[in-house]
Amino acid sequence: MLDKTAKGSTVGSNKLDKKKEIIKKYNLSKEDLTWMLRNVFVSRKLDDAEITMKKQSTAFFQISGAGHEGVLTALAKVLKPAHDWFIPYYRDRALCTGLGVTPYEMLCQANGNIGDTATHGRQMPAHWGNVKLNIVQKSSCTGTQFLQACGVAEAGLALKELKEKHNYDTSKFLVEDAEVVYTSCGDGTIAQGEFWEGLTTACANKLPVLFHVEDNGYAISTITSKQTPGGSISKALDEFPGLKIIECDGNCPIESYKAAEKAAKHIREGKGPVLLHSHVTRPYSHSLSDDQSMYRTKDELAEEKQIDVFNSYPKTLIELGVMTEKEVNDLLEEVTIDVRRAMKEAVDTEWPAPESALDHLYSHDVDPTSSDFETEGSFEGKTDIPMASAINAVLRSEFSKNPLLRMFGEDVADFSDLEKLKDPELKGKGGVFKVSSGVQRASLEGQVFNSPLAEANIIGRAIGMAMRGLKPVVEIQFFDYIWTAYMQLKNEMATTRYRSGGDFKCPMVVRVPIGGYLRGGSIYHSQCGESLFTHVPGIRVVFPSNAADAAGLLRTAIRSDDPVMFLEHKHLYYQGYNRTADPGEEYMIPFGKARVAKEGADATVVAWGALVQKSIDAAKKVESETGKTIEVIDLRTLAPFDMDSIKKSLEKTNRLLICHEETKTSGFAGEIAACVNEECFEALDAPILRVAAKDSHVAYCPTSEDYILPQVSDVYEQLNKLLSY
């Protein structure tokens, strides 16, 4: 539905009687209209103040919201802080001031000091956030916000349902009736794939999301018509199923107010998402590192100056008889003085202590490395449970106990059609490896569901849910296809707690089948790349080698308060050698605590995943031939990893071999070797050796695969070399 409420390109084309009709219809008082002008002035003067601070080297970056203030001010007037939710983008200064963020707080962010309530000195200016106002702290990434907004909306609906249908106590969560989840972007960001993923998710699930596209005609220097079909996002999306489209002149706060009211009403009535396409200006360059006079004509800039809300809206209010010219000038002077005062106070505010820069990488309240997560297992009953089944048992148990858990991914549910759950003859899918089989039946309706075939969609929505209080335990079907989600994982999931100074967090578990040795897995079903996640601060990385450890570590991951990459080796799912008795429903293993898989005195092998058993087999062969004994340490978790256990072992053996399936160059063995070199070099009687995959992709041919991936024979050869040094 394309609703062109006011698509004028200039304020001059908007007749006063049309504005009078809107004022009358929505009962806008002089106080309302004056408040909107004040907010426009405040936002613009804050941009000017930051530019001044940048020139004075008291701010270190600046990107303005100039020209966007009209529609954003109207939205701030219509939407409700601490009721609705907001994931705005960097031009949304006027929205945030209108919702209640103060000039002082914004200018403290420009300076990076302790008065910054958005990021606590962690992010550049214009990266909005305010936990008290429900403004979710935003990263620099363009396009990641849309899927997160869907997740925030889904969490709100889920919490409301838990309260109303299951009498669940949601008092610790902010759950309101008729919420709107606002998210926004410029016309350039609509080229991002996640914009389209977010739209389709919101429409398919009828989510209460307001997508605001602020179209100033330029993505830095690229014009809209060169990247959007038909030159207009609202035209391109006309008749998009389930999406209401409202197009407005964003330079006019009065007309924008009408559009914002219509959008909010549609969403609050439960009718689904809205795309608000506002036409705005960009009187200042993209940022201070850009000079738009190099690619925009003087005539174009002069025309924009006339319709710029900072100039056109005061004129409109004077022509309407709402304010006199003197009242406008007095208001501008008052705002200017207030912002100057705020700038001085901000510049005088102290910076945080340097050592506090490492705070909030992980939870301060829940430590998964502590003894709180070290519980005894019962290990009774069935004795040959494979790793896949052990993981499945934990998922069933935890989901049956905790209604806040959510699991989704590709094919993870037993059924997409819930009616089929009632059919006893249908077993259901439950994942391509059957690891999530039956979890849907063991949980409440809506806790387990299938996602679209889109990895970023899975992670982005999970991040939004986690920010809001749910605990997602999601699955990426194959590690080989995780890369479309890497932006969400590295720049969003891992940074949420840190970049918000602890105001928001992202506790979630990402389960990922990983690794090769499948015979025929080839390039795209054999990848192993754990070091690409151990390298990212803020993420816990778990890589079990056996069923008991997988059960204990997964329960720890689910009950911890940090984002966890839980890597499950596909080859190990149903092996006979790594099975377990039932460890019970409370068994947990702390992160960062290695397991001595085999004791020995003459050499230490450190391994994880599929290389643990291969190392044990090689060690036994060496021992039978040499009489020397080999200690094999299974790290189990890589971030953090148990350096103390390695040191303790080296005190006995004085020799170290590190084995992993990932390629040798830049693999995690290099990190361990570096730490050993730095911390216990004197304990070594031989060089540190490594066994790893060759620096190649994995080929399809079985003999080629065997040659590329590390085998028992490779470990055996390097152990002999190590012992003979």
- The candidate with the shortest Cα–Cα distance to 110, out of 65, 147, 152, is 65
Please, what's the b/e burial string for 22-41 (b: 16 or more CB within 10 A of its CB; e: otherwise)?
A: bbeeeebeeebbbbbbbbbb
Integer Cα distance of 725 and 720 in angstroms = 9
Query: Phi, psi (5° rounding) for residue 229?
Result: -55, 130
Strand ranges (E), 583-643: 595-598, 603-607, 630-634, 637-639
- Tell me the DSSP string of 204-249: HHT--EEEEEEE-SEETTEEGGGTSGGG-HHHHTTT-TT-EEEEEE
Q: Which two tokens stand for residue 595?
A: 């397991």
Find all residues with CB under 8 Å of 706, minimum gap 6, and list them.
none
- The candidate with the shortest Cα–Cα distance to 134, out of 94, 176, 191, 90, is 176
Integer Cα distance of 670 and 689 in angstroms = 10
Active-site annotation holds for 166: no
**Token match 């004028």: residue?**
8
- The candidate with the shortest Cα–Cα distance to 446, out of 419, 408, 473, 397, is 408
Selected catalytic residue, list 525, 569, 571, 660: 525
Integer Cα distance of 198 and 190 in angstroms = 11
580-582 and 564-569 beta bridge pairing: unpaired
Integer Cα distance of 461 and 508 in angstroms = 11
Integer Cα distance of 351 and 434 in angstroms = 52
Three-class DSSP category at 396: helix
Query: Phi, psi (5° rounding) for residue 433?
Result: -105, 10
8 Å CB contact between 253 and 260 = no
- The candidate with the shortest Cα–Cα distance to 56, out of 113, 110, 118, 125, is 110
Q: How would you class 687 by CB atoms within 10 Å of its CB: exposed for 0-12, middle for 13-18, buried for 19 or more?
A: exposed
8 Å CB contact between 55 and 265 = no
8 Å CB contact between 458 and 476 = yes
Angle between helices 253-268 and 30-55 (to 10 degrees): 100
540-542 and 564-569 beta bridge pairing: parallel
8 Å CB contact between 619 and 653 = no
Integer Cα distance of 146 and 202 in angstroms = 9
Residues annotated as catalytic are 525
